[in-house]
Structure 1
């Protein structure tokens, strides 16, 4: 029999099981089913937990060389590197501390400006915001210089306030700066009213006698109803300061039998020693309407007289 005529197929009794293609299709379908079932129903989660618990000792043993290498690397870090890192951390801490102080300062300034704006709304008076540049050079006066002048519409005699009350009055105006005489200056006088009793008076600066920022309420009778803690505000009768602005608070009242007037020491409400942002108000007289011109009395005509 020729070799080419031999039948190479196995006899029927050696054929067992399905074909390889059928096995591939069945296994692929089973794998796809398991993936979908695991994604939707997590049926393999218990199996994974069990295998993780069993393999944990092996993982720990394999990780020991890696952990040992990291520990040695950290241990042999040079001293210079550690010092440089410490210096960098300190510089960063100082920078953050400086920024925190700036944020706190800006917050305080924002609060002061909000209070100033609220006070301006109550007064309903034209104002100019200004900043205190420096104190005057004369040691015998209490004056400060602000950064607003004629170019910004500041007028001589304009009241100056801060977020707490009356700070002073503009006494000299330059093109770009102005001089403000503080309420504690001996030459400064402000008509005030006691908010508790309604009694009027005049406060004078008394910086040299009772402290750097004291005032004195003068010409008050010894039996006048005034007590420590009374608030004094502007009365508005002088034509300069609008009424109702806080000026000072009574600190001490001395009634002496040998004097008809009481000695009343007050402390200003404004920050005379630390004000930075202020508001310059327009004088009250410039906001009032002009006085009507006096009318000349017409002579009485004799023709209209009764006979």
Structure 2
């Protein structure tokens, strides 16, 4: 050691040993470095999870806000269509919001947010921007029940827009199907024809779209053909409707519980 300290004879040896031992020193430091890296990862993992959860939360919040904006836009478009429709009508109209929908096989009714306090009365016609929805059956101070044209107890006088021939359409209990049981075999009717309100009975004004013919069957040895139609109005899918105000009508064929089951 004394020689090593006072001379340079052993310098080459020291350099050789340093080079030879450097891999061993590097390997010796690996466990410590690896442990420090793993420790850093583990300590950062909770923060990563929290950040991920926050991002997911923000994503779903933005998603819900986008859906809400889209819904509001569609509702505004629907209201705009109703407003345009009301401006074209001769009748006085009242805008009403759908509050409740009650539809099953034997009952097609909706609740609207207008009642006696708003001038609503039983038998009042209800439409949307596309066509006839139904008519008011029960009136309360602030709400009213509306029977849809697809209710199995509902019947409505109509005429074929193309030919002017008159008939009656009946509800079937299906929100997408109306039946037209009293058209003679020689009647001029075809798929795509549109039924409009005829004005008979004084309950529904003349000329409002009601349904489009979807099926025509000629049955041998029967007096009447079988005709089906689909409602044109959105019925249970509407958010708002228009109540048409006219003179209060006398009882008519429009609501005919017994006739609805007539073959």
Shorter-chain TM-score bucket reads 0.7 to 0.9
Q: CA 1:165 to 1:80, structure 2 compared with 1: closer, same or farther past 3 Å? A: same
SS of the counterpart of 2:91?
Answer: coil
| TM-superposition CA deviations, 1:81-121 (whole Å, max 9, x none) | 22222111111110110011111111111111111111111
Q: CA RMSD in A?
A: 2.2
Which of 221, 225, 231 is residue 268 of structure 1 equivalent to? 231
Residue 124 of structure 1 corresponds to 90
- 5 Å-filtered alignment, 1:1-307, equals 78-136=44-102, 140-207=106-173, 211-283=174-246, 285-286=247-248
TM value normalised by structure 1: 0.64
Pairwise CA distance, 1:138 = 7.6
Which one has more relative contact order, counting CA pairs under 8 Å at least 6 apart?
A: 2
SS of the counterpart of 2:163?
Answer: coil
Report if the CA contact (8 A) 1:123-1:242 is conserved. no
Pairwise CA distance, 1:179 = 1.0
* Structure 1 unaligned spans of 5+: 1-71, 288-307
SS of the counterpart of 2:237?
Answer: coil
SS of the counterpart of 2:71?
Answer: helix
Report if the CA contact (8 A) 1:213-1:272 is conserved. no
Report if the CA contact (8 A) 1:130-1:280 is conserved. yes
Report if the CA contact (8 A) 2:98-2:110 is conserved. yes
Q: CA 1:139 to 1:177, structure 2 compared with 1: closer, same or farther past 3 Å? A: farther
Larger Rg: 1
Pairwise CA distance, 1:213 = 3.2
Q: Distance in 2 between matches of 1:81 and 1:141?
A: 56
Q: CA 1:137 to 1:114, structure 2 compared with 1: closer, same or farther past 3 Å? A: closer
Pairwise CA distance, 1:153 = 0.9
Q: CA 1:222 to 1:159, structure 2 compared with 1: closer, same or farther past 3 Å? A: same
Pairwise CA distance, 1:227 = 0.6
Q: Distance in 2 between matches of 1:169 and 1:213?
A: 17
Count of residues in correspondence between the two structures: 210
SS of the counterpart of 2:168?
Answer: strand
Q: CA 1:100 to 1:133, structure 2 compared with 1: closer, same or farther past 3 Å? A: same
Report if the CA contact (8 A) 2:93-2:245 is conserved. yes
Pairwise CA distance, 1:189 = 1.6
* Structure 2 unaligned spans of 5+: 1-36, 250-263
Pairwise CA distance, 1:286 = 4.9
Q: Which has the larger share of strand?
A: 2
Pairwise CA distance, 1:182 = 0.6
